[in-house]
Structure 1
């Protein structure tokens, strides 16, 4: 049946109908008063979402572009940075840093395991000469379904006294409580096609006062991604370059929906979806890739040991029109990932788990009692 695709991947995520309809409006001039009103509204609502009184800048980029902007605006060639890497995206930030001539130290963990905050503490405390200029890390490591302990790592960065913390929150912003001002986070990057519930194309960078102090002396090359330009023009409710106007329509509609739901409800919903999905997977006798207590609010990674991950994905797509994500790099074919980020409801989880049960039965997997996954998920939902 056409047009029944159900996206259960970490991005792009499902888009609400009212957001799609907002995008369908005729474009308006981006140098008009009407656009400035939209810019003013979405900027204020982005500050609400980020729990900050400081700048939240809007760029026409992917999440990678937002993080790259967050790195290059506040550092100089040869600066020493500490990069946390326990998945594809942590690896990427190390690669970006090296591409710009930064001196990169990495703190690693096996893919599927969270970063150890104690390793950050030890490195930062040993840096008595204050040569570490920034700590760069991914909060929700999408490639593995692991949530890193940002709050604790950030405390160690603050105790250092000099280093900035630059955080990829691409799949945790708007799914997990990240009080930017309360925690004193310096640079926080995210992307539109995740918890924001709109299509790809916009990146967001929240910038605190310590980062702006570093910006004044930073010497890495930048032009299109020069956040100073976005700050200057943003103060006048405009943009330095042509924005995707219709994505701003979408962002306006999505942020209004999010405000109506409320931050606490948004976070509680994502926690419920995560816990119900993990409970269902356990009930089906399938191994979870991320340990309990470190599951991402965006996605649950599963490492089946008695059935093929790609066969599961194939049948889910062909028979039920449900798209699951696969593994990346050396995990390709070894895991599958169930997205539960953004415009996802309890019903979506129950539907996906029911389809997964049917898929497993078709593949001859008999290590579960039919209905066990649905029952486990439903119990979490009922008690949440």
Structure 2
């Protein structure tokens, strides 16, 4: 009762207590309420931090991956978080320190023994300072047999599945399967960009003889090889690009560009990615997004269309302007032989070899 009288404002004699005392008691009770609220907030914060740390530990320790919605990285909502996680795990293992990888695609026909894939890997082994680049090569396989063959020969393989489409056989140029394969490639490369990786994409029918990085332009977002090069790396009008070899930096410009490129297939039905690129390279949208494009000199990045004329400078040779897998394999074997003949010449004599020493195209004529 004493306490009740104090709280009601009466003393032991039934008299009103001092007004200041009542205010002091109320102030004390308000203080208890504030302390309780602060304690509850601190407790909730600890719980949130604990769960955040636990989640981060799971993803960074197990997969080196930050959980995101699949749609953030993918052109297709059907791509699952598990597939994104698996892809980034492969990329992480193959990546150079600055998050750069080398990518190629492979199907069963090109992966068969003594076919294009074997020649591709051999070129890295006998090239000038190219063997170490195999550590950064990720092979994107289009079917199960290609994946199994890749795993038998190379440490970094990723299986890219596509529902209801069989990419295992040789795809004739501009056939429906060929077109779907090329556009699937553009879609996938856009995903690589959105994951934050720079990349060199190389067709598997390109032989690597030198490290290409010193020959790239330092201030360009998107660099591409040419079937025919007109002498000016910035000449969008005259240079005829070839999508089989590109060097792409991951940034906002290239992310927007690849989405625009992929979307443009709807405007130009029946055309493959390279032909569509020739259409859209003049589009005002390219200038609007600020994309810097450079075309690569065939003196360093040659092909059957326009061979490099100097083995002292050549970095890559592409079996372009050639139809038929057997024709490619035949002439690529010749190319490797020509390169080995070049290596057999003394270093001081090599500098004098400034005329074209290639014995191709042969079957690819």
TM range (shorter): under 0.3
TM (norm. structure 2) is 0.26
Larger radius of gyration: 2
TM (norm. structure 1) is 0.25
Structure with the larger RCO, 1 or 2 (CA within 8 Å, 6+ apart) = 1
